[in-house]
Structure 1
Amino acid sequence: MKVNIPSDTELADLIEHRDPASVTVYLPSSPVPAERERLQLALRQHAKTAENALEAAGIDGHNRRAIADSFDRLQTDREFWDSQARSLALFLSPSGTHAFHVANDLPEHLSVGDRFDVGPLLRSVSFANEGFVLTITQSSAHLYELRADRGATEVPLADLPEDASEVLRQEPHGGQADRVSDTGALGPKIQQRKYCSVIQDAVLPHLGDDHIPLILCATDDLEPAYREVNSYRHLAEAGIPQHPDSLTPKELDREARAILDALYVQQLAGWKERFENLRGEGTAVSQLTEVARAATAGAVSELCFDLESTALEGSIDDAGAIHPATGATHTTYGLIDELAVRVLRTGGTVRAVRKGDLPDDSPVAAILRYPPVR
């Protein structure tokens, strides 16, 4: 299964896109070659439906043909069909085509309008289950990346000197004290910290200043030494207690994801507590109509929404008023998804959560930048 998801820049471009001839297609997919014919047939049907919808919307023939040509090119692109995952997200307009292979199971949907229906894709990428794992022993250090769509994958530490572990063999004080013993015990603390600093210098460029947690799996001697020199803000307090050499990458992945799950629960609990504190000040709301008005006005700083709430369809006007629909059509979109898009467009943050993690019996909850105007 080959997965490619949009970067933050690509996602922002999709959200900001405006063109009367904008077509969005979500299609359940499969990496199994035998499924290709079914997928191609489904895409041809969506192409025909999109052509009719564009004509009904008054889109001129030139722009309709441009989109039809894009559908045709996809049909004949062998590399494209060899790179399927669980879902396919397509965004087509006269100016170009964007295709993403997604590991999540997204419902089949077609929309035609003046913008792309980014909500379902946003829903799949905002429920993050990502992190890094750093293993440290006396003789080696390895960095692994955890992604929602794949297991632990090693990240080469190109800047780590091959002889980094020799730091542990250096003898301070002229060799009169703190020698490394014949049994192979680690050197004194000063060497341990220096060794961990060398490792950190090689690791930090791969982490940047992001929000992704770093989980430590180190020997008993080196675990406290690394924490002493650490400067990465998102080093998890909990580490993997097993010796790094005793774990396979698959086992390392399992242990790390348990820590990520616990971190996520902790973060949500803190968010809910903050939400309740701000509710009394009028800067935290959960009523759908209030959130819609605030999101449209650019007043939402943080939005949590129900990961599984996909039934609410309709549209939201420029004043933030909700116009519900009885079902999905080519001109409607998921209301919760549209709220998330509007929050992102105005510089807010969004998080897809399970319904039980929300503070009220509502599919949304928002922390505002300022109290709403009544």
Structure 2
Amino acid sequence: MESLFNLDLQPLLNHQSDLCISIYLPTYKGGAETQQNFIRFKNLIQKVEKTLSDRSLREAEVNALLKPAYELLDDRENYFWEHQDLGLGVFLSPNFWQTYRLPISFEEVAIVSEHFYVKPLVRFINLNQPFYLLALSQNEVRLFKANRREIKGMELGDIPGSLAEALRYDDPEKQLQFHSGSGGNDNQPIYHGHGVGTTDNKNDIRRYCQAIDNGLMSLLPVDQHLPLMLAGVDYLISMYQDLSSYPNLLKEAIIGNPERLLPQQLHEQALPILEKDLHQKQEQSIQNYQNKKGTSETSDRLSTILRAAYNGQIDTLMLLENEQQWGQFDPNHYELDIHSQRTHHSDELLNLAAIQTLQQGGQVYLMDENNLPHNSPAAAIFRYPIVSF
């Protein structure tokens, strides 16, 4: 079972086979109703068996392919089916097997295709997006990596642990006054210097913030696309935001002295801010689409969207959540064939667009029909103007 903190779509996005099996089902977390988890999964496996038989696979081939699923059905000793969350995703292919226990519910789905059906996971991935939390005070710096469900402390690396530490290394000649703190760590020096708001103090704090930013940028060279949230008092947050070079620093912060807050308390205050930021980004994407609608920077044509997705040209893709479009797309010749009915050779085209967009760093949002900005199952904002086709 994959950890929620380390949930990585890349293995699913990158995998391709003639037989990629994707199963989603809602699950119960406790009580007698957990028996439904086993029954639902068994019924979906039977649907997959029929699909594979219809594809002319022999019984021995079906049994070999579905062996991990059969073993999961028989796993009653470990109480797998009694320890679920709200939804379960199961992905199976020759030499591939992965299950995800997730805190969101799904409609029952069993799909056999050339790609894993990842579109239902997009909402969870957006909600569960990892983020960094930097808790700042003059006496203490703490850095965390978190998502919706978990928070973990990180080593600071070259980030100074306090104002005193930053200035001690920055200017050995500077005269600082210390005394032992009466808080959580008796050995932690507390910086007195000049009063808050004086010119010298502002300069000291500015140097402190710059040292933190330099250390942070050095510590996180790869993950700077993840949001960074701040926690601290107003003046410190404001100063840090003014000079920070982190590219995805959230404007809204946890305001107040974070020194006495436990990681879980910081986490609880962070989640509403993160959800608000996600909602604002989604609303901004809708507005951006409306502003650019009818230009070469947007499209709601599925053929154009699929071609742009394969070429890495999509910045933001918005999909109708409960819609499916079956067909085939040839990325070599950019030929699209939409099927009136699903066949054994059909791909779910919205899922295909999502896979290619996510693989190349684009953002994907699932929306209901009231929020999607056009009368189409898909709408895209491109990274730059492209020629329509």
TM-score range, shorter chain: 0.7 to 0.9
2:41 maps to amino acid:
L
2:142 maps to amino acid:
H
Q: Note the residue ranges of structure 2 that are not aligned, 5 or more in a row.
A: 179-190
2:154 maps to amino acid:
P
Alpha-carbon distance between aligned partners in 1 of 2:357 and 2:2, rounded to the nearest angstrom: 30
Contact 1:111–1:329 (8 Å) recurs in 2: no
Report the counterpart of residue 121 of structure 1 in structure 2. Answer: 121
Matched, 1:271 2:272: no
Name the structure with the higher helix share. 1
Report the counterpart of residue 184 of structure 2 in structure 1. Answer: none
By how many angstroms is 1:225 displaced?
4.5
Per-residue CA deviation, residues 279-326 of structure 1 (Å, 9 max, x unaligned), is 34333122xxx224431463651343246x31445334542232244x
Report the counterpart of residue 305 of structure 2 in structure 1. Answer: 294
By how many angstroms is 1:57 displaced?
0.8
The verdict on how the C-alpha distance between 1:133 and 1:304 changes in structure 2, with shifts beyond 3 A counting, is same
Alpha-carbon distance between aligned partners in 1 of 2:91 and 2:328, rounded to the nearest angstrom: 21
Matched, 1:257 2:271: yes
Q: Note the residue ranges of structure 1 that are not aligned, 5 or more in a row.
A: none
Report the counterpart of residue 46 of structure 1 in structure 2. Answer: 44
Contact 1:172–1:178 (8 Å) recurs in 2: no
Contact 1:25–1:109 (8 Å) recurs in 2: yes
Report the counterpart of residue 386 of structure 2 in structure 1. Answer: 370
Report the counterpart of residue 360 of structure 1 in structure 2. Answer: 374
**Higher alpha-carbon deviation: 114-123 or 54-63:** 114-123
Alpha-carbon distance between aligned partners in 2 of 1:339 and 1:242, rounded to the nearest angstrom: 43
Alpha-carbon distance between aligned partners in 2 of 1:116 and 1:220, rounded to the nearest angstrom: 46
The verdict on how the C-alpha distance between 1:312 and 1:162 changes in structure 2, with shifts beyond 3 A counting, is closer
Per-residue CA deviation, residues 118-164 of structure 1 (Å, 9 max, x unaligned), is 3223443245554322111222222233423x15x132325368964
Contact 1:23–1:110 (8 Å) recurs in 2: yes
Alpha-carbon distance between aligned partners in 2 of 1:219 and 1:33, rounded to the nearest angstrom: 45
Report the counterpart of residue 18 of structure 1 in structure 2. Answer: 17
Alpha-carbon distance between aligned partners in 1 of 2:7 and 2:144, rounded to the nearest angstrom: 21
Matched, 1:321 2:319: no
Alpha-carbon distance between aligned partners in 2 of 1:63 and 1:25, rounded to the nearest angstrom: 19
| Superposition CA RMSD, Å | 4.0
Report the counterpart of residue 225 of structure 2 in structure 1. Answer: 211
2:12 maps to amino acid:
L
1:351 maps to amino acid:
V
Q: How does 1:28-47 map to 2 (within 5 A)?
A: 28-32=26-30, 34-47=32-45
Alpha-carbon distance between aligned partners in 2 of 1:363 and 1:235, rounded to the nearest angstrom: 32
Aligned pairs, how many? 361
1:192 pairs, out of 205, 213, 222, with 205
The verdict on how the C-alpha distance between 1:357 and 1:301 changes in structure 2, with shifts beyond 3 A counting, is same
Contact 1:30–1:86 (8 Å) recurs in 2: yes
Matched, 1:240 2:251: no
Alpha-carbon distance between aligned partners in 1 of 2:226 and 2:240, rounded to the nearest angstrom: 18
Contact 2:305–2:353 (8 Å) recurs in 1: no
**Higher alpha-carbon deviation: 158-167 or 33-42:** 158-167
Report the counterpart of residue 108 of structure 2 in structure 1. Answer: 108
2:143 maps to amino acid:
L
Alpha-carbon distance between aligned partners in 1 of 2:237 and 2:74, rounded to the nearest angstrom: 53
1:310 maps to amino acid:
N
1:18 maps to amino acid:
S
TM-score with structure 1 length normalisation?
0.77
Alpha-carbon distance between aligned partners in 1 of 2:163 and 2:174, rounded to the nearest angstrom: 18
**Higher alpha-carbon deviation: 67-76 or 294-303:** 294-303
SS of the residue corresponding to residue 59 of structure 1 reads coil
SS of the residue corresponding to residue 24 of structure 1 reads strand
Report the counterpart of residue 187 of structure 2 in structure 1. Answer: none
By how many angstroms is 1:58 displaced?
0.8
Alpha-carbon distance between aligned partners in 2 of 1:129 and 1:161, rounded to the nearest angstrom: 24
By how many angstroms is 1:95 displaced?
2.2
**Higher alpha-carbon deviation: 203-212 or 163-172:** 163-172
Alpha-carbon distance between aligned partners in 2 of 1:45 and 1:268, rounded to the nearest angstrom: 36
Report the counterpart of residue 155 of structure 1 in structure 2. Answer: 153
SS of the residue corresponding to residue 339 of structure 2 reads strand
By how many angstroms is 1:219 displaced?
2.9
1:135 maps to amino acid:
A
SS of the residue corresponding to residue 120 of structure 1 reads helix
By how many angstroms is 1:331 displaced?
7.2
The verdict on how the C-alpha distance between 1:324 and 1:119 changes in structure 2, with shifts beyond 3 A counting, is farther
By how many angstroms is 1:214 displaced?
0.9
Per-residue CA deviation, residues 172-197 of structure 1 (Å, 9 max, x unaligned), is 69567999648996983444344445
